[in-house]
């Protein structure tokens, strides 16, 4: 994406970078949070690397390395989308990624399940940085017990075999999928929560 302004600074205690990407003509925030380098999974030195482009959660450098967004901040459009899905603009949602021990998937899932059980709006994000891509899976639940899954993939998704009622956004990089009713949250082998979907719920 051309015509962007990128502002980064090192966060030494996390071995990562805090970056904000602005749209050049309006100042709109396109991405904000904690980023890591694809080659070392740590921080980059802005003084030795030169930005050449930004696109879909990735800041590219002129030496073929790039920064991946691994933890969006409260100002990032991804987080704002989760809040909107969880609260519909009229309630305070629990951000499970702010709990203690939030690096443990089991604790993230426990937070989400506890909120879901008592119909508290919540959202939770699971990140899976890769060597050549950035991926996250998220759930947002509202006070009525409705839950929506959100998946992001920096390389983009295929339009085949999507769940019924799934919607693609951001040039096929984000999938938003309402969970079937009645909602049943299941844990994968690593503890990540997903919505149970019968085979007939896929296109």
Question: What average pLDDT does the segment 147-170 reach?
Answer: 82
Question: What average pLDDT does the segment 47-55 reach?
Answer: 81
User: What was the pLDDT predicted at 62?
Assistant: 86
* 152 phi/psi in degrees, rounded to 5: -125, 135
Rounded to two decimals, the pTM is: 0.73
Give DSSP secondary structure letters for the chain: --SEEEEEEEEGGGTEEEEEEEETTT--EEEEEEEEETTTSS---TTT--EEEE-SSEEEETTS-EEEEEEE-TTSHHHHHHHHHHHTTSSPPEEGGGSTTTTSHHHHHHHHHHHHHTT--EEEEEE---SS--EEEEEEE-TTS-EEEEEEETT---SSSPBTT-EEETTTTEEEEEPPSSP-EEE-TTS-EEE---GGGB-
Q: pLDDT tens, 118-157?
A: 999 999 989 876 656 678 899 999 999 999 999 888 777 8
User: What was the pLDDT predicted at 202?
Assistant: 56
Question: What average pLDDT does the segment 51-66 reach?
Answer: 84
User: What was the pLDDT predicted at 179?
Assistant: 92
Longest dimension (CA), the chain: 53
Burial of 191 (0-12, 13-18, 19+ CB in 10 A): middle
Other CB atoms within 10 Å distance of the CB of residue 62: 10
The domain spans of the chain are 4-72, 77-201
Work out the pLDDT band at 200, boundaries 50, 70, 90. Answer: low
* C-alpha distances out from residue 23 to 3, 27, 54, 118, 134, Å: 7, 5, 10, 40, 21
User: What was the pLDDT predicted at 131?
Assistant: 59
Contacts of 142 (CB under 8 A, 6+ apart): 85, 86, 87, 88, 91, 121
């Amino acid at each position: 994406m051309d015509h962007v302004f990128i502002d980064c600074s090192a966060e030494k205690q996390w071995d990562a970078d805090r970056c904000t990407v602005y749209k050049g003509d309006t100042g709109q925030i396109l991405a904000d949070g904690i980023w890591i380098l694809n080659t070392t999974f740590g921080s980059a030195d802005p003084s030795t690397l030169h930005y050449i482009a930004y696109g879909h959660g990735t800041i590219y450098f002129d030496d073929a390395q790039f920064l991946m967004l691994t933890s969006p901040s409260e100002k990032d459009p991804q987080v704002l989308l989760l809040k909107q899905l969880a609260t519909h603009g009229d309630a305070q949602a629990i951000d499970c990624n702010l709990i203690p021990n939030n690096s443990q998937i089991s604790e993230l899932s426990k937070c989400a399940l506890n909120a879901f059980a008592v119909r508290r709006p919540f959202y939770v994000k699971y990140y899976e940085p890769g060597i050549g891509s950035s991926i996250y899976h998220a759930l947002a639940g509202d006070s009525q017990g409705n839950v929506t899954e959100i998946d992001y993939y920096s390389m983009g998704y295929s339009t085949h075999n999507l769940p019924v009622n799934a919607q693609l956004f951001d040039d096929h990089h984000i999938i938003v999928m309402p969970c079937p009713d009645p909602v049943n949250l299941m844990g994968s082998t690593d503890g990540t929560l997903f919505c149970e979907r019968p085979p007939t719920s896929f296109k």
